[in-house]
Structures are given as structure tokens and as C-alpha cells.
Chain A
């Protein structure tokens, strides 16, 4: 059972535009929602994360919007650059001691064109 749904599967944005990736979850026990960026041949790297007591978090050009009642969260990349071209994964976890199990979305391949 997939617990985190991610869309779109792929996205093409012009340089300077806004990239928006959406995720929805089912498990109300999730209490941590990170986004990972992965370049080809590399491991995922933590980009930004949010907890459900906050509706929005911004770090530079990256913003997470979180809607607890709708069980949805999204990543906005402002002023998208060609260097942002990568695969983006949303994720969710609920851990209480003993390590934290991440459930990933299916991923979005972002291409930023000149």
C-alpha cells in the first residue's frame, strides 16, 4: 500500500519559472515531511523538511506548503534554474525511538530549460 502519493511524475519548467510538486499522504501518524533532491548517480540529499505544526517553511528559493486537514504538502521552487534539474522525492515518517522509517513518494523528474 503506497502511503505517499506524488505528482507529477515529470515536470518541465522554463528558467526563472516556478516548479510545483505535490504530495498526499494517508497515515495520520506521520509527523515529519522531508523533501529530497537526487542527481543521477548520487544518493538523495535532504533539501527541506517540515513538521505538521507549521503550514509553511521557506529556505532560499525552496518552500514547503503543508495542509494538515487535507493531508497534503507541496514543494515550490522559485526562480527555477537549470542546476535544479534532478529527481525530487517527498517523504514522510513517524518514528518513536529506534530509528525513523521514511516512506517515499514515487518521485518527480524536474527539467529546467533555458
Chain B
């Protein structure tokens, strides 16, 4: 299995809703990432988990809450989002650490619309 699976593919939520994005990989990768991508822009790093521990938080607002229940799963909990948070949310994974292990595998993303 060489894929990163993200669900749902599309999500529309109101500003008072609580929702979660899910990401799963079975490649044995020990680093997992959340990226946010706006149209015609590069992905922007949000969070990095390494060995199931949060290692990087790029000053993301607290309305985004990541969770890594185990080495294969990564969640992003959403609460009280704003319309400007509408974007493609990408999950990625890679083997953590070491010069030989820099390849990222991205999922297809969740297209989030906040209304």
C-alpha cells in the first residue's frame, strides 16, 4: 500500500459546526503532516507529527486541532471556522529522519468549504 487516504473528499460546514478530517497511511511512515492549500498557491504547512508526537505547529489558530491516535492515523478537528479557512487540506506522510528518507506522499486532499 503506497497511498495516503483522506476522508471525506469534500466537506461543507457552517461556522458553528464541528467536523473532523481523517488521514490514513499504511506505509510504515512515522512522520505525518497537515498542509493547507489555497487555489493557485503552494501548500502551506500546518502541523507535523513525528512518532505520534506533535513536533511542528506553524502558529495555526486553535480552531484547528490535530490529533495522531496512532502511527497510521492523523485527524484534524475543526471548530468555529471562518469562510477564509475554505481550502484544500492535504495530508502527507514520510519516513521520519535520516538523509535517505525525505520523500513525501500526499493524499488527494479534502476540499473544505466554510459557509
Residue positions of A touching B, CB distance < 8 A: 31-32, 34, 36, 41-46, 49, 51, 87, 89, 93, 95-102, 104-107, 109
- For the complex, give the distance between the alpha carbons of A52 and B97 in Å: 18
Residue positions of B touching A, CB distance < 8 A: 4, 31, 33, 40-43, 45, 48-51, 55-56, 90, 92, 94, 96-99, 101-109, 111
For B42, give its contact among A93, A100, A107 (CB under 8 Å).
A107
- Cβ-closest chain A residue relative to B43: A104
Q: How far is the CB of A85 from chain B (nearest CB, A)?
A: 15
In the complex where A34-B102, A98-B50, A107-B40 touch, is A42 in contact with B108 (Cβ < 8 A)?
yes
Q: Are B106's CB and A99's CB within 8 A?
A: no
Q: Are A99's CB and B42's CB within 8 A?
A: no
Q: Is chain A's binding surface mostly helix, strand, loop or mixed?
A: loop
Q: What residues of A have a CB within 8 angstroms of the CB of B45 in the complex?
A: 101-102
Q: What residues of A have a CB within 8 angstroms of the CB of B56 in the complex?
A: 99, 101
Q: How far is the CB of A109 from chain B (nearest CB, A)?
A: 8
For B31, give its contact among A34, A49, A98, A109 (CB under 8 Å).
A98
- For the complex, give the distance between the alpha carbons of A93 and B102 in Å: 8
Q: How far is the CB of B76 from chain A (nearest CB, A)?
A: 15
Q: What residues of B have a CB within 8 angstroms of the CB of A46 in the complex?
A: 103-105
Q: What residues of B have a CB within 8 angstroms of the CB of A106 in the complex?
A: 41-42
For B102, give its contact among A44, A100, A107 (CB under 8 Å).
A100
- Cβ-closest chain A residue relative to B39: A40
Q: What residues of B have a CB within 8 angstroms of the CB of A87 in the complex?
A: 40
Q: Are A31's CB and B99's CB within 8 A?
A: yes
Q: What residues of B have a CB within 8 angstroms of the CB of A101 in the complex?
A: 45, 48, 56
- Cβ-closest chain A residue relative to B106: A43
Q: Are B31's CB and A44's CB within 8 A?
A: no
* 10 CB < 8 A contacts A-B: A32-B99, A46-B103, A95-B97, A97-B50, A98-B97, A99-B94, A101-B45, A102-B43, A104-B43, A107-B41
